[in-house]
Amino acid sequence: MGEVQLEIPARVEYLVLARQVVAAAAAVEPRFRDERIDDLRIAVSEATTNAIEAHADLSRDERILIRCNLDDERIEVEVLDHAGGFDPGTAGAAPDAEAADRLEHERGLGLPLMKTLADETDISSTEGGTAVRLVVYTPHAQRPA
Amino acid sequence: MGEVQLEIPARVEYLVLARQVVAAAAAVEPRFRDERIDDLRIAVSEATTNAIEAHADLSRDERILIRCNLDDERIEVEVLDHAGGFDPGTAGAAPDAEAADRLEHERGLGLPLMKTLADETDISSTEGGTAVRLVVYTPHAQRPA
Amino acid sequence: MLFDLQVHPRAGWTVVSVIGELDLAAAPRVRQAMLQVVTGGPGSRDTPERGPRVILDLGAVDFIDSSGLGIVLGAVKRVRAAGGTLRVVIKEPQVRQVFALTKLDQILLLAASVDDAVTAPTAPGPVGDEPRG
Amino acid sequence: MLFDLQVHPRAGWTVVSVIGELDLAAAPRVRQAMLQVVTGGPGSRDTPERGPRVILDLGAVDFIDSSGLGIVLGAVKRVRAAGGTLRVVIKEPQVRQVFALTKLDQILLLAASVDDAVTAPTAPGPVGDEPRG
Ligand SMILES: Nc1ncnc2c1ncn2[C@@H]1O[C@H](COP(=O)(O)OP(=O)(O)O)[C@@H](O)[C@H]1O
Ligand SMILES: Nc1ncnc2c1ncn2[C@@H]1O[C@H](COP(=O)(O)OP(=O)(O)O)[C@@H](O)[C@H]1O
């Protein structure tokens, strides 16, 4: 159907904007239920938060690109940054912690939550930046096996 | 402070998104009062509506770019399309109509309303497209004379 | 989404209630509904001898731009051409401002609620739409 | 903007009410308020002998992500380290879902209102935070 792109400064004030745009873009397709749009809002918030934090670590004032691709089966959102990258294999190895351990994990909740909420998550990261691809399907779409 | 860019398909379903993004971008600066953000929302809605209509006339499925530039004095929004352009000098010569004439102007309200609500409006249009620049000042900003 | 439209009768009037943002995306549905009401399709409750009596209820409209105003203007024209009466309900300040800036508030009876619109006296002023029916 | 924070006493508890979206942008203010309450700065109403009794009221929070959860976890740790009790009020389904997915609902007393949080019995279950004070 259509593609929406949003470019924002890598600053926390713009997180709310990233969430709003993705939610509004998804709402263009009436088949997305509110709960799935909520899932997507959180996942996008996590990815964008990480991108902003990564830029802050560099204290470079760069920009984050958020790209939404919508058809009647699914919405795909890409969050692209130009920070230093990381190893997605080691980071966020889901702390599927026992309740008792839970308190020890004040950070590191972002990637696991993102992966739980999106139907598909791909992260590709280099020293030049990171691309996080999140996909959420409409209720009746045929998902790839 | 920061620049926000939004790119949308030239389709009416995305009007609401254009308004939301501009309103949310303006709200990042706490000095903008709600009334001025409302003014800006309408002006941006008018400019984006015209861009979408111009693309529909061409039945070309192109994209519209909306760029917000914010500092603590003002917000500047540019709406850029790639449709056929028009002559801003002749179009929208404000129908400052008497009430009795009002009924005859079912169309043509957009440009006058936009010019009334924004503090500054510049339109530059060629056959390759149109750029509408809208500026709204914060209450205490020193406006250029 | 954020837009809905309902038509219902009320004390001899046909009330067309619009909910949400009245822009170019919403315009076709509202235009269509107004057309049906005026031409006596489903949703019209009017007795032919006095023409359609219509209340366009924008009380739940929180945004309107020139595309929405175009709808209102078209509706006024059509209702008057059919010898009827149109009243418009407005609540939100943003909507009120746009009607004032474009002087539509001078040619229309604007009411603050559907109740007010139903009970408003017939000729409100020199440029009211009332004495046409 | 869409975020606000209030601290007030209530029946022997200090209630920290958060309004809006609890993300990385809002996190520093909430963290700061919780810190003050626990360390007995302004806003703290606790008697030293039993440690701080704090209700983190997220009833008006309509969005939370992992940055917000980090705040809650930090607050639990700090309150418990000071020998106190923390209860959390949650209303929105989105917020409830995030607490469930991350299993925070298993280590915290989650109440549906500040009233419920005040009147809840002390030890709700095996992993409740209650018997620490
Ligand atoms: N876009 C990114 N760029 C660089 N590093 C990242 C990015 N996203 C995640 N990371 C790394 O992965 C770690 C885990 O991320 P996450 O699970 O969201 O938890 P948290 O952000 O709380 O640390 C981060 O601390 C960071 O080091
Ligand atoms: N971006 C644009 N591209 C091409 N033509 C435009 C553009 N904006 C405005 N126009 C022209 O100016 C006219 C007046 O615009 P406007 O005052 O908004 O009223 P309306 O859109 O109702 O006609 C339009 O009908 C159109 O011909």
A52-102 residue pLDDT tens: 999 987 766 689 999 999 888 899 999 999 999 999 988 755 555 454 555
Nearest Cα neighbor of B96 from B83, B109, B78 is B109
How many other CB atoms are there within 10 angstroms of residue A72's CB atom?
12
Q: Is the pLDDT of residue A139 over 90?
A: no
Q: What number of residues does chain A have? A: 145
H-run or E-run covering C117: helix C114-119
**CB–CB contact A14 B8 (8 Å):** no
pLDDT at C127: 42
pLDDT at C41: 52
Question: How does strand D13-22 pair with strand D53-64?
Answer: parallel
- What is the torsional sign of CA C116, C121, C123, C126? negative
Whether chain D lies against chain C with 3 or more Cβ pairs closer than 8 A is no
Cross-strand partners of B130: B81, B125
pLDDT at C48: 54
Nearest Cα neighbor of C56 from C123, C8, C121, C106 is C8
Nearest Cα neighbor of A132 from A105, A101, A110, A106 is A110
Distance CA C115, CA C11 (A): 10
Question: How does strand A2-9 pair with strand B2-9?
Answer: antiparallel
Distance CA A78, CA A64 (A): 10
- What is the torsional sign of CA D19, D23, D29, D30? positive
pLDDT at A92: 58
Predicted confidence band of residue D118 (pLDDT cuts 50, 70, 90): very high
Q: Which of A13, A24, A63 sits opposite B28 (nearest CB)?
A: A13
Name the stretches of chain B with pLDDT < 70.
Answer: 1-2, 59-61, 92-105, 141-145
Q: What number of residues does chain D have? A: 133
The helix-helix angle for C66-81 and B34-58 (nearest 10°) equals: 70
Buried b (16+ CB within 10 A) or exposed e, D52-70: bbbbbbbbebbbbbbbbbb
Cross-strand partners of C85: C53
Nearest Cα neighbor of A123 from A90, A75, A74 is A90
For residue A108, what is the DSSP state? -
Residue B86 near ligand 2, beta carbon < 6 Å: yes
Nearest CA to ligand 2 atom 23: B108
Ligand 1 pocket, Cβ-based, cut-off 6 angstroms: A 46, 50-51, 53-54, 81, 83, 85-86, 91-92, 107-111, 130; D 66
Backbone torsion region of residue B112, taken as left when φ is above 0, otherwise alpha when ψ lies between -120 and 50, otherwise beta = alpha
Residue percentage of chain A with pLDDT more than 70: 83
Cβ contact D34:D15 at 8 Å? no
Q: Is the pLDDT of residue A131 over 90?
A: yes
**Identity at A3, one-letter amino acid code:** E
Size of interface A-D (CB pairs under 8 A): 72
Cβ contact B68:B116 at 8 Å? no
pLDDT at D132: 42
Mean pLDDT confidence for A11-33: 88
The values of phi and psi at residue D54, to 5°, are -125, 135
* SS3 state at D123: coil
Distance CA D53, CA D37 (A): 9
Distance CA B6, CA A55 (A): 21
Nearest Cα neighbor of B25 from D28, A54, A21 is A21
Query: What residues of chain B, 41 to 70, have a C-beta less than 8 Å from chain A?
Result: 63
Place of tokens 């997180």: A15
Q: Which of A13, A42, A52 sits opposite D65 (nearest CB)?
A: A42
* Number of the ligand 1 atom closest to the C-alpha atom of A88: 12
Give A25's contacts in chain B (Cβ within 8 Å). Answer: 17
- What is the torsional sign of CA B6, B12, B17, B23? positive
Distance CA A50, CA B145 (A): 44
Predicted confidence band of residue D131 (pLDDT cuts 50, 70, 90): very low
Three-point CA angle C106, C111, C114, nearest 5°:
150
The helix-helix angle for B110-117 and C66-81 (nearest 10°) equals: 130
Predicted confidence band of residue D58 (pLDDT cuts 50, 70, 90): very high
**CB–CB contact C65 B46 (8 Å):** yes
pLDDT at A56: 87
* SS3 state at B28: coil
What's the whole-model pTM score?
A: 0.84
Which ligand is closest to the CA of A43, given by its number? Answer: 1
Residue A27 tokens read as 């709402």
Q: Which residue of A has its CA nearest to B25?
A: A17
Cross-strand partners of A2: A70
Name the stretches of chain C with pLDDT < 70.
Answer: 1, 41-49, 123-133
CA distances from A22 to A45, A110, C97 (A): 10, 18, 30
Give D107's contacts in chain A (Cβ within 8 Å). Answer: 99-100, 102-103
Q: Is D23 on the interface with B (CB under 8 A)?
A: no
Q: Which residue of D has its CA nearest to B26?
A: D1
D13-25 residue pLDDT tens: 999 999 999 999 9
Mean pLDDT confidence for D84-104: 94
* SS3 state at C75: helix
Nearest Cα neighbor of C74 from C34, C109, C124, C110 is C34
Query: What residues of chain A, 5 to 34, have a C-beta less than 8 Å from chain D?
Result: 12-13, 15-16, 19
pLDDT at C50: 73
